[in-house]
Amino acid sequence: MARISDRKESNASISYGKESNGRLTKGIPYAEAAERRRKLNKPTPFEDQLLDATNEFLNVLAYPIGLGVLAASLPAIWTYRLVSDALSQPADMTDKVVLITGASSGLGEDMAYEYARLGARLALVARRKEKLKDVAANAWALGAHDVLVVDADLGNEDGCKDALSRTLGHYRRLDTLVNNAGLFPSFYFESADSTAGFDSIMDTNFWSYVYMTYHALPHLRASQGNIYVTASVSSIAPVPMNSFYNASKSAVASFYHTLRIELGHEVPITIFSPGLAKSEMTDGKFVQPDGSVADYEEGIRLRRQNGFGLVPLMPTSAIAKAAVDATRRRKPDVIHPVWYGLIAYYRLLAPELLDPLLRTVLLGDDNAPTKIIQDALGGGIGEPNEGQLRAGGMRAPGRRDSVEAPQGMTSMLTNGTPGRKVARDPVRLGDNLDHIVYLGIKHLTRRLWFF
């Protein structure tokens, strides 16, 4: 390679050194550099100055005015919600066709049972066909007027189109689309050896919702139906080790908020954001960077790292009741339980408090008070034992998960509960405490905030 001095001598019109004013210009003629500086350093146009001044003015006035309008409006809004809930009747679901993704376990399974009790006709979609058959049998027993089992991989558009096509082929209509399927990856971002599995997470957690909605919209318009979406409080609470899950749920919430504005009242959309549920996910069935599902020893360790010992979990059956009720009433946005919504205010108004708090609570060293509390609680009220984890399909230590998704990422549906068996492990006090704490919070917040 030629030295800079040699290149300078061979092309005197190009500057590789300093001009007389001390400015360094590399690779362009002096005259051109001077002309570019003249254009870049010209005075700001008056129109741009006016726009900047307007925004500075709004920075001062927008918050006082906006918060004042909000304070004046909230009593009327809360009164409307209270009266509306008291006088309105939830939609009659008798013989209505409800397609539920992620229906083989957890929240999707319990939502299927709620709709079955209402006499709906169900299309249960998931990848695990044998578990779907068991859920379908339970739904029949609870009063469903018809149940269709649709085994499909929703990690790609063809699988989504196939699930919808089979549903329409059987029922000839669609009244409610329940988007609930997903993966729950739990690992530090930098711990991933490659980015190979990243697409698969978003394919299931976000794109499956988009594909199902895109292809279902014409049929929902025809039936004057509606859409339900399982978002998550993780979209407003940046919990460590869950970066992709948090991102996918944020994408879901943002997409459906935008779509709801575009559609207006043509196809109502309910965005339901539950807190931590007692499920396969919170029992420790986490997707790892290499695409495998954690075994039950890894799961318990990761469960404690995720801070599940610090927040009371909720039974999926209780969440399902609230989700179905919100969908039948066509509520636009629901955070359940309501107290999680407080995180949104901290995130918006005081990130300087929220970020260090989450880091201290969830990433503290082993001697931190929060970690000691988690250990004292056994990693969380109602931590599962080995038998329950085995029943839920978690692999033994040292063995790889037996079911891998085509893209290499283990296709595990979130919000799953350990396999439902006739003979269960003895119920522990912690399991009841979950429910007691949840019911107390629910009734107090409903009385206070009218949600």
Annotated catalytic residues are 245
Report CA 328 to chain centroid distance, whole Å: 21
CB contact set of 258 (below 8 Å; sequence gap of 6+)? none
Q: Closest Cα partner for 341 from 414, 251, 274?
A: 274
How far CA 400 is from CA of 287, 295, 407, in Å, comes to 12, 8, 16
The length of the chain in residues reads 451
Strand, coil or helix: 315: strand
Strand residue runs (E) in 205-268: 226-230
Q: Where are the alpha helices (DSSP H) in 314-409?
A: 316-328, 342-349, 351-363, 369-376, 386-391
Strand, coil or helix: 123: strand
The conformation of residue 229, written as its DSSP 8-state character, comes to: E
185-214: b (≥16 Cβ within 10 Å) or e: bbbeeeebeeeebbebbbbbbbbbbbbbbe
388-405: b (≥16 Cβ within 10 Å) or e: bbebbbbbeeeeebeeeb
How far CA 299 is from CA of 194, 217, 370, 371, 433, in Å, comes to 21, 38, 19, 17, 22
Structure tokens, 137: 């049998």
Structure tokens, 430: 């912690």
Cα–Cα distance for residue pair 91/104, rounded to 1 Å: 25
Strand residue runs (E) in 185-291: 226-230, 269-274, 277-278
Strand, coil or helix: 423: coil
Strand, coil or helix: 151: strand
